[in-house]
Structure 1
Amino acid sequence: MKGLALEDDTPRDFTSQISASGTSKDEIPSAATLDEIPSAGTFGIVYRRTIESSEGTMEVGRSEDLQDWSSGRENHAKISKGINRELRVWLELKHPTIVPLLGIAKVQDSLFPALISEWMSSGTLYAYLKEQGTISASTRIKLARGVADGLEYLHSRSVVHGDLHPGNVLVDGSGHPRLIDFGLATIAGDVESQLNTTTAGRSVNPQWRAPEVIGIDPETEPVRPNFESDVYSFGSVMFFIVSGVTPWHEKKSSNHIIIELSKELLLHVPTTSLTITGT
């Protein structure tokens, strides 16, 4: 359906073509907490919808806002800047390892547009591995390599993802991983994009983020996400793909993990890879 592709790097408005009903994209098992595998980004959660056009029907994902609008105009302006920044970054990304952005759509009773992307039928990386159960080493290597290729592409475009974890890796119908959620992405050297980036509303996620980004040292300021912290996050994702467990899965809370990180302790490496677990 070539007619659904972006033209001239301008987001297409699908408001009149997108269906109003659909099913939630949240496929994260109840056993996994938000800190372990986030099912929503800063600005919303993804729902499955269909688009009717002259080219036919296509299933898409619609990211809708979940923010609290009672916080006033200042917060609205910050969110608007964040969405515009995400659009600006995402529009420039065109690669087999990136979930394609198709356009936008107006949402009833919302101040901000939804972002329309191709629908990834196998869900998040977490959900995909759990559904597959025991998978071969070659499949795990393919998944890890796909995520690595996606991150390498971002960095080649001077883009820092800033929030890489299994909830921000979707899997298409052919089993290929694709990166998504550029709400914290920045352009290296672009001061404006870095200044407008905030981690407010995000979980700390110490399983996936570099200690210096979390700010575990009370005597130093947290650093902004960068290429090096992206690589740290990739290592955590690869640990999950290979082992089948989330980093620090034996710890009961984010605070316990942060304490371990502050002691510079190493992860416990499972001796075998059995099932996917988040607890």
Structure 2
Amino acid sequence: MNTEGNGQSVLSTLPKELPLDFLRTITNQFSEDRVLGTGTFGTVYTGIMPDGQHIAVKRLAENAPLPRDKAITNEVQNIMALKHDNIVKLVGFCHEGQKRVVLNNGRYIVADVFESLLCYEYLPKGSLLKNLFDRSNSMAWDTRFKIIKGICNGLLFLHRIPIIHMDLKPENILLDDNMNPKIADFGLSRLFGQEQTRANTQNVVGSYGYIAPEYLYRGEISAQSDIYSLGLLIIETTTGEKNQPKQNEPSARDFIENVRQNWTDGRIASRYSTLKANDLQEIKVCIKIGLECVQIDRKKRPSIENIVQRLDGRCAN
């Protein structure tokens, strides 16, 4: 289909709810060679539209940490209307049942089997995880700083709604062609009421090494839960060192302590001797902010407003 004449692409005219057969067709029946990545909530495929444009199609897994209908409701309701340069754009979704013959208690029956899918703008650079820790492609400091500021601007936008993301980590930050970061994967996100600042849950789900301690051990959810995860993201992006919790160890204490002890002003100056004084100051500020964000006492962590102001140089560090 040629849409150049009217200046519109197929993508811009897509309905929000898409038929399952259409998504099967554009992903070549969810073929292996279209897989972009696999995560906690499912597998992401490249979908090629009739006009040649690409979209990312996430097929939610049956064994995801949240029921598929809950995860899709979270994503659709919480990010469908969001428009911000640092938030990934959701372009469509599908929650459709098809009749299939399935085995149930030793008998074959005909049942409605539901598929849940989410469609996003396609970001060919992939995740921050892939780009940050690829040794063959060392990321310049100005790019790292731009990514940190972009993530913080996106989180500021979310927290003002207020939406708590609940799963900030390098895999869930996607990069566009200009290395602008976009916060993605809202499967665990929570929409708070305007007067609400905290919530509690018995069902703690998230990514080991990035979960705030008050959520991990007491089920407490607040904006400061995101700030803890953000601190780890800032530290990883600044240092280029990966937060790798030990198996079955949900906290990041060893990683944080290592950074606190080793990333002193003297080490930063010697390690980055070719950088200008202004760049070195930015690195020091980012390490300082990151370590403040991961304090055990959530009340001592800075607000996202304070972090953005400091990164912009609008208040003292």
Alpha carbons 2:204, 2:215 under 8 Å: kept: no
Q: Cα deviation per residue 1:141-166 (whole Å; 9 max; x = unaligned)?
A: 00101111111111122111111000
Q: Cα deviation per residue 1:48-89 (whole Å; 9 max; x = unaligned)?
A: 11121xxx22101111122249xxxxx99x431332122110
1:101 maps to a residue whose letter is: L
Taking the aligned partners of 1:157 and 1:2, their CA distance within structure 2 comes to: 30
**2:233 match: secondary structure:** helix
Tell me the CA shift for residue 126 of structure 1. 0.9
Tell me the CA shift for residue 266 of structure 1. 2.8
Q: Does 1:212 align with 2:214?
A: yes
**Which structure features the higher share of strand residues?**
2
Taking the aligned partners of 1:16 and 1:188, their CA distance within structure 2 comes to: 35
Aligned partner of 1:44 in structure 2 is 42
Alpha carbons 2:27, 2:46 under 8 Å: kept: no
Alpha carbons 2:164, 2:189 under 8 Å: kept: yes
Alpha carbons 2:164, 2:191 under 8 Å: kept: yes
2:240 maps to a residue whose letter is: G
Taking the aligned partners of 2:189 and 2:56, their CA distance within structure 1 comes to: 20
Q: Does 1:144 align with 2:135?
A: no
**Bigger Rg over Cα:** 2
Q: Cα deviation per residue 1:220-257 (whole Å; 9 max; x = unaligned)?
A: x2212x2111111111001110111123x4x53342x6
TM-score normalised per structure 2: 0.64
Compared with structure 1, are the counterparts of its residues 259 and 119 closer, same or farther at alpha carbon in structure 2 (3 Å cutoff)?
closer
Aligned partner of 1:24 in structure 2 is 35
Aligned partner of 1:94 in structure 2 is 83
Compared with structure 1, are the counterparts of its residues 258 and 143 closer, same or farther at alpha carbon in structure 2 (3 Å cutoff)?
closer
Aligned partner of 2:247 in structure 1 is 253
Aligned partner of 1:231 in structure 2 is 227
Q: Does 1:178 align with 2:182?
A: yes
Tell me the CA shift for residue 13 of structure 1. 1.2
Alpha carbons 1:162, 1:185 under 8 Å: kept: yes
**1:57 match: secondary structure:** coil
| CA RMSD, Structure 1 to Structure 2 (Å) | 3.3
**Which structure features the higher share of helix residues?**
2
Gaps of 5+ in 2: 1-7, 101-112, 273-317
Q: Please, which moves more after superposition, 140-149 or 11-20?
A: 11-20
Compared with structure 1, are the counterparts of its residues 209 and 113 closer, same or farther at alpha carbon in structure 2 (3 Å cutoff)?
same
Aligned partner of 1:218 in structure 2 is none
Q: Does 1:113 align with 2:116?
A: yes
Alpha carbons 1:101, 1:117 under 8 Å: kept: yes
Gaps of 5+ in 1: 27-38, 70-74, 216-220, 275-279
